[in-house]
Chain A
Amino acid sequence: MGLFDRHAGLLEAYRDVRTTGYDPFQIRMERVLSPTKAIINGRETLLVGTNNYFGLTFDPSCMEAAIEAIRAEGTGTTGSRIANGSYSEHVALEREIAEFYGKKHCMVFTTGYQANLGVISTLAGQGDFLLIDADSHASIYDACKMTQAEVVRFKHNDPSSLEARLRRLGDKPGNRVVVLEGIYSMLGDSAPLREFVDVCKKYGAYVLIDEAHSLGALGEHGRGLCESTGVIDDCHFIVGTFSKTLGAIGGYCVSDDPDFDILRVTVRAYMFTASLPPSIVASVRQALRVVKAKPELRTQLWNNVATLYDGLKAQGFTLGPEHGPVVGVHLPDRMTAIGFWRAMLDAGIYVNVAVPPATPNGVSLLRCSLCAVHTKEQLDHMVEVMTGIGRQFGVLPDKQLRAAGAR
């Protein structure tokens, strides 16, 4: 058997996708102009698929902070924190994030993926139980492959499904660690966190929540779902990323556990990778200040969510279950999704296309992520374009047909 034979099915699916003429997984941004615009295929394109929720990638104060840090401390750290030591700024960033959540400890990772991979696989060890939501992000699934713990999935956003699995464990020894996400990345739906926390308390389980897509977006101070549902104190571990709302790259985990720092010498995803460069640390620290100082960005983001979500809903599109900074548009099958995606790109709008096996329940989606600095005009235009393409593809009923049917 050849090395790539096992991927035969995937190769075939990928070939199908590429027959449309564009490869959605190798899109090239010829030039990025702003948080909401780039040149793609030679044309100015509206970006509605980049997780840039607050538009901070071009925030002048964040950019200046990064440039200054490069001048002061160079372009990179060339090694891990345990080998090359921590820069003062790494330590300061960790202190600031811990303070942001009102937690005692924080560890910063080089990516959000590594934060989940490292923390989750290390927290639950041999003899422990890891209970994960069925729609968990790839980084959580990959952590499950690395852990020695027994892993059980529960139904997406279903506290009673979690409860059944905790109950079945009975009085078996071993820690129970439950992994949840604030906002799920494909459909933009939130976990019923309060109900989950109640179940976890009842069975003495630890709660780890990944706020990757909810940092900035949810809660009075933008701390995420743990804040908006009032359960920060009941979340033992909060994980997040710098690569979305904070406009850079990196991940973190905060906790009140007094022994938390032992993870610095046990989590291999932290120990054996180079630490974040000074420019990233500086821009993230500044971005966190912006998030705290400008709550209006959160308001703008949600206004934009309403414009796109309600606009598409009114036209008859099938969407994710609730308003969220991610709006998932359901399409009937993979090829329709790819074709629709391509037609949108031709019309100057970039979104993500998500098809099985990357999606829950085998659905095919256009995944739109909103930005606080999108204008209402841009989003109204997007709804119009999508409605037109939707009729063309037979996803939405044709105008005339609808009129005739109404008679």
Chain B
Amino acid sequence: MRCLTPRLLEPLLRTAHELTVENDGIADTLTLTRGISRAEVIREICVHLEPYQAGEKPITGETVIAKDLTIDSLAIMDMVMELEDRFDVSIPMSVIAEIHTVDQLADTIRDLRANPS
């Protein structure tokens, strides 16, 4: 998916957050992921990555975070800390090291929310 600018995104995010439960058709998935859709996680990641966008190329799920953007490894880890608190999960450093794309990061967050232990 394409990322919107944070300004455009903010009201959308609020709405998305409120509407997740009603909007997603797969009730089982909803319970497992504690009510956060994949699209919403990706959107939130993109908000954090937007300042590091290289040129006009949009940030998508396939974007390789450390390669396609101007973000350094320390800033990636700091962004992860923000996402951890936003989604109430902890991502071990060894797991962060294995994440390359926005999609992978989103899936990791959703997996951890579904199976905290």
Contacts and interface: CB of A to CB of B under 8 A. Distances in A.
Interface of A: 134, 144, 150-155, 161, 164-165, 168-170, 172, 356-357, 360-362
Given A168-B90, A357-B74, A154 B116 contact: no
B73 A152 contact: no
B85 A161 contact: yes
A164 B116 CA distance: 13
Contact of A150 (B85, B89, B94, B116): B94
A359 to B, nearest CB: 9
A187 to B, nearest CB: 15
A144 B77 contact: no
Nearest to A166: B90
B117 A170 contact: yes
B72 A356 contact: yes
Contacts of A151: 92-94
Contacts of B117: 170, 172
Contacts of A144: 93
B67 to A, nearest CB: 11
A168 B93 contact: no
A182 B113 CA distance: 34
A362 B78 CA distance: 11
5 contacts: A151-B93, A164-B84, A168-B89, A170-B116, A357-B72
A362 B89 contact: no
A356 B71 CA distance: 12
A153 B81 contact: yes
Contacts of A360: 74
Contacts, number: 43
A168 B74 CA distance: 23
A164 B93 CA distance: 16
Contacts of B93: 144, 151-153
B92 A150 contact: yes
A134 B85 CA distance: 14
A269 B93 CA distance: 22
B111 interface: no
A170 B85 CA distance: 16
A142 B112 CA distance: 26
A237 B27 CA distance: 48
A168 B78 contact: no
Contacts of B78: 134, 361
Contacts of A152: 90-93
A4 to B, nearest CB: 18
A134 B72 contact: no
A395 to B, nearest CB: 24
Contacts of B74: 356-357, 360, 362
B90 A169 contact: yes
B92 A155 contact: no
Given A152-B93, A169-B90, A357-B73, 12 more contacts: A134-B77, A150-B92, A151-B93, A152-B92, A153-B77, A168-B90, A356-B72, A356-B74, A357-B74, A360-B74, A362-B74, A362-B75
A16 to B, nearest CB: 15
Nearest to A362: B75
B81 A154 contact: yes
B71 to A, nearest CB: 10
Contacts of A361: 78
Given A134-B81, A362-B72, A168 B116 contact: yes
B88 interface: yes
Contacts of A356: 72, 74
A363 to B, nearest CB: 11
Contacts of B73: 357
Nearest to B72: A357
State the 8 A-B residue pairs at the shortest beta-carbon distance, nearest first. Answer: A151-B93, A150-B92, A152-B90, A168-B90, A165-B90, A357-B74, A357-B72, A152-B92
Nearest to B91: A152
Contacts of B116: 168, 170
Contacts of B72: 356-357, 362
A168 B72 CA distance: 27
Contacts of A155: 81
A244 to B, nearest CB: 25
Contacts of A164: 84-85, 88
Contacts of A357: 72-74
A233 B78 CA distance: 32
Nearest to A168: B90
A150 B96 CA distance: 11
A302 B115 CA distance: 50
A150 B73 CA distance: 19
Nearest to A361: B78
